[in-house]
Structure 1
Amino acid sequence: ASPPASSWSSKSAGINGSLRRDIVGLLLPHYTRPHTEILTVPQSGTKTVPSQYFIIADGAQSEFRRKLNLRMEGETLFYNQAWYFRAPDLAKLFARTQLSSMTFFLNEDCYGDILIPQTAEGHWLYHVTPMPEGVEADDWPTFRNMLYRSIGEEFEVFEPQGRYFGSQVRLAASFNFGRALLIGDAAHLTSPFGGFGMNMGIGDAVDAGWKIAAILQGWGGPRLLETYTLERRDVCKYIIEGAAHNNKVSGKALVRPYMEEDSERGEKAREEVREFIIREKTQQSRSFGAQFGYRYTSSPIVVGDGTELPPLQYGEYTPSSVAGCRAPHLWLSEGNSIYDHFGPDFCLLKLDPAVDTTALEAAAAEVGIPLKVFLLDSDEARSLYERKLVLIRPDQHVAWRGNAEPDDCRWLVDVVRGAASFH
């Protein structure tokens, strides 16, 4: 059953763009106060909502970001053209590749085209990058000719809609602005080649979320929130650079002279394209390293032990329990995930029942850190995690590891909660 709507949420649902701009003007002068009051303007009048922090998640054209005069650094890679249309007969031509999420067309006449099925009812997205010169989004005859030339056959096209858009790679200089935090597209823009827009936004929300929760619960230290930019910006920069590479090795960059010719030089051209795609393009669809392998090893709230990190590769993921890395995943004997046992707070993974953790538990309790101790007697886990004790953050990244408690447990606890500095 759906939860009952509050009187505020139901009244606020009708806020339009003009009123939203008014809210921005009313809100932002007050964001630096210890207890910010967010003033909304629902249809029935004004409403004041007490708040201490403000999450800016209003997208690429963020009005809030502009009001704060925050600059985005980067470039426009290409302008792309996209047409949405209905063509029921087109599915018959793709019967052999119906499991494909998208089809790339490469020939000497095309523009670097991509066809993406949208629905089972025959709706498609035809994407051209970069946008051909002189072609407008509503130039339907040219659109049809380009589509037919790519596929090699004509068919009926209904309800075409078109637009062009820019592949942007941009990054805010900081994601922190007092008590206001930028997340998602308000903080960074990436090329769609790789599908990382939502992925990065969720990562931002998790990082900002657990840190704000820690402060509101009273155990987060005074330096905790500033680590949001320190951790997330470098990760986003790495992912954005990879997506930009994916964008640049698309379209005409993949076309070679004679590639359609039935000859020795044609075969040589196709082999060159094949090798180029495998070498340069695979990471667009196989990006496990970018998804799971990013790490916060330079963060001031993780405590490393000097162990050399595995290489960071965009396409391949190497699990590691080095501090700052994502806690390695493991399916347990009862069939559930090790992540299910970590919980929403800090977790001390204990892989040797003989190791004493009394002092570390007491230090966490002293400052109010919610800490779960998870005892796992597993040779596979010990081999994977390489240490007997592993302290895991609420975002499932490793904060510290060791074979015994540290000499100063309170110091460790203060570092990971942002009340002291390790570096």
Structure 2
Amino acid sequence: MTDLLWPGDDRAGDLFSDATFLAAMVAVEEAWLDALVGTGIAPAGAAKEDLLGLVWPSHHQWLANESELGGNPAMALVALLRDGLRERNPDAARWLHRGLTSQDVVDTALMVCAREAVDRTLAALREQVRRLAALVEEHRATPMVARTLTQHAVPTTFGLRAAQWLTGVLDAYDDVVGLVLPVQVGGAAGTMAATVELAGDLPDPVGAATGLALELATGLGLAPSTPWHTSRATVTRLGDAAVRCTDAWGRIANDVLTLSRPELGELSEVAGGGSSTMPHKANPVLATLVRRAALTAPQLAATLHLAAAESVDERSAGAWHAEWATLRTLLRRAVVAGEQASELLSGLRVHEDRMRATLEAARDDVRAEQRSMAELAGTAPREEYLGATAAFLEAPLARAAGVLAATPPREETR
């Protein structure tokens, strides 16, 4: 999957590609069929079919075309699978998808695909935490001028600037690590009535039906859940977490873009991009592309929230459908931006001499506040004017140490 109009999109690979999403939907159908057999609802012969083997690359265009007729890709997929099973396993063909509805398949498949995006984003964030903590330690005392509203303000250190970057990344990590990816199983209208009916010969039909959601979750590596088909917080939280990440990365990118201007030269990318006509250029391409993601991600998340607010009845017309491609685009772009931000930080060059020179050149102006405070207090100005800068580094460094010492959460269950 590639996108020439989104340079770097290839970093996301097959994440949320058509083939990957089809495979996720097939995995949902297969796990559900196995669960039906496991609880005794469906006959034993219906289980353990290789459903993915029934979907060939040549089917992809047909599925895309047929999806328009039903408004979603699940209906066409079920028809294709049943047709492929009819001769070789009539029981599997008959019991496939029974008790599910198209929203169950699509929503759960979205969560299966989102898991890879979450895992990759967490890995990028952990790497950024490691690199930023090292930058804070290395530049605890590297002096530079602080800027407010684009103008020189007072002295600070690059260590404190990096600590602010680190805090943003840590906040994003907290959001992403707290995400829950649940299965969606509700049947036609969120009641599981069909599954309870199918389990009518069992001692506890309701218990058997609701237990299937747990079996499905276990089989797919997702969280069990009651139906959430009309409460879209699961989707909006994913979007919000992605935007929290791009916010944090955009803040870093903006500083790099500003401080790498030739007239400042306090930061630079290790290998800037060239120009098609100007051989002297070393453009901060990674920072530019990260900023691009930060500028476009909030609107995608806003679409998810608008769709959630428009949710109606037991399945929404249009609002639910608007989520799928939006979520795919947002999560792919977050994964790409995360890897670009990691690469940016790993090769970031800090030009301490330029930071010191700029601060020294502005010495009289940036000490103006200090002189007024000393005059008010009736004391001589201190040699430095860094306040509690050093102390403010400790909290983000402690948070970073905790993140890096912990086992990556999603690795615990693998």
Q: TM-score range by the shorter chain?
A: under 0.3
The structure whose residues are more often strand, as a share, is: 1
With the length of structure 2 as denominator, give the TM-score of the two structures: 0.26
Higher normalized contact order (CA 8 Å, seq sep 6+, divided by chain length): 2
The structure whose residues are more often helix, as a share, is: 2
With the length of structure 1 as denominator, give the TM-score of the two structures: 0.26
